[in-house]
């Protein structure tokens, strides 16, 4: 009985101490292999709506670039209205990956940035502006019109600061899900494996002591 209680106590503490797993809080669909994109530097900015419940830890978006260009940073705004920054406004360092060349000779690249963002629970707006590349060229945010999106509230509504309403863009908001969401099954599998390992170890030690 003491052995069983000890195992249960250790397993319970492991479950409580398990860190939150980053997840996709909102996704507006995959990149489209086209030349449709909107400038997010040189004074141009684009804002897209989103619906999310959780704490934002980063974002991913697809950029259309001239060959050889590498996005270094972008200013990220999150607000309760189009182009709003009442919840978050900061320059975010960017990591670029998964580039490929489209039929028009442009590169399409996945841009990722991590940051400590706000806690969300409802409808908001993401704005990208002041994108910076290695040689000062334009940075274009890939337009996908939300095609293939699966998140509640998608496709996004979008605006450009000079033209007004436009089709929405390819992006995802990454973060820790809110408390009313269900933990991922993989987390339970990992926890169960650890608990079984503890049980096996304690049983072996107990058996050796009895011989």
Whether 156 is in a domain gets the answer: yes
Instruction: Answer for the pair 51, 122: CB distance below 8 angstroms, yes or no.
Output: yes
pLDDT tens per residue across all 211 residues of the chain? 433 333 333 344 444 444 445 799 999 999 999 889 999 999 999 999 999 999 999 999 999 999 999 999 999 999 999 999 999 999 999 999 999 999 999 999 999 999 999 999 999 999 999 999 999 999 999 999 999 999 999 999 999 999 999 999 999 999 999 986 444 444 434 444 444 443 343 333 333 332 2
In the prediction, which pLDDT does 180 show?
A: 63
Whether 71 is in a domain gets the answer: yes
Whether 209 is in a domain gets the answer: no
d(CA 65, CA 76): 19
Please identify which residue in the block is written with the tokens 């809110």.
178
Instruction: Answer for the pair 140, 131: CB distance below 8 angstroms, yes or no.
Output: no
Instruction: Answer for the pair 152, 163: CB distance below 8 angstroms, yes or no.
Output: no
In the prediction, which pLDDT does 86 show?
A: 98
DSSP, collapsed to helix, strand or coil, labels residue 189 as helix
Range of the domain at 98: 34-177
Instruction: Answer for the pair 112, 97: CB distance below 8 angstroms, yes or no.
Output: yes
Whether 68 is in a domain gets the answer: yes
Tokens matching residue 196: 């079984």
Whether 63 is in a domain gets the answer: yes
| pTM of this structure | 0.77
Tally the domains of the chain.
1
Whether 201 is in a domain gets the answer: no
Whether 208 is in a domain gets the answer: no
């Amino acid at each position: 009985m003491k052995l069983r209680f000890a195992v249960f106590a250790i397993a319970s503490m492991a479950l409580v101490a398990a860190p939150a797993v980053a997840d996709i809080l909102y996704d507006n669909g995959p990149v489209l292999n086209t030349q449709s994109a909107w400038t997010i530097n040189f004074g141009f900015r684009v804002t897209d709506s989103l619906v999310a419940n959780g704490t934002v830890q980063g974002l991913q978006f697809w950029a259309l670039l001239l060959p050889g260009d590498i996005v270094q940073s972008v200013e990220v705004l999150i607000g309760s209205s189009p182009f709003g920054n009442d919840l978050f406004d900061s320059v975010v360092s960017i990591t670029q990956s998964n580039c490929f060349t489209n039929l028009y000779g442009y590169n399409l690249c996945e841009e990722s940035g991590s940051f400590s963002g706000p806690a969300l629970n409802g409808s908001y707006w993401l704005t990208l502006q002041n994108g910076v590349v290695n040689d000062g060229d334009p940075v274009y945010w890939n337009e996908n019109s939300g095609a293939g999106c699966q998140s509640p509230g998608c496709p996004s509504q979008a605006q450009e600061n000079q033209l007004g309403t436009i089709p929405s863009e390819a992006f995802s908001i990454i973060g820790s899900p809110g408390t009313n969401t269900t933990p991922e099954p993989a987390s339970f599998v990992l926890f169960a494996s650890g608990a079984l390992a503890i049980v096996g170890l304690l049983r072996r030690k107990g058996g050796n002591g009895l011989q």
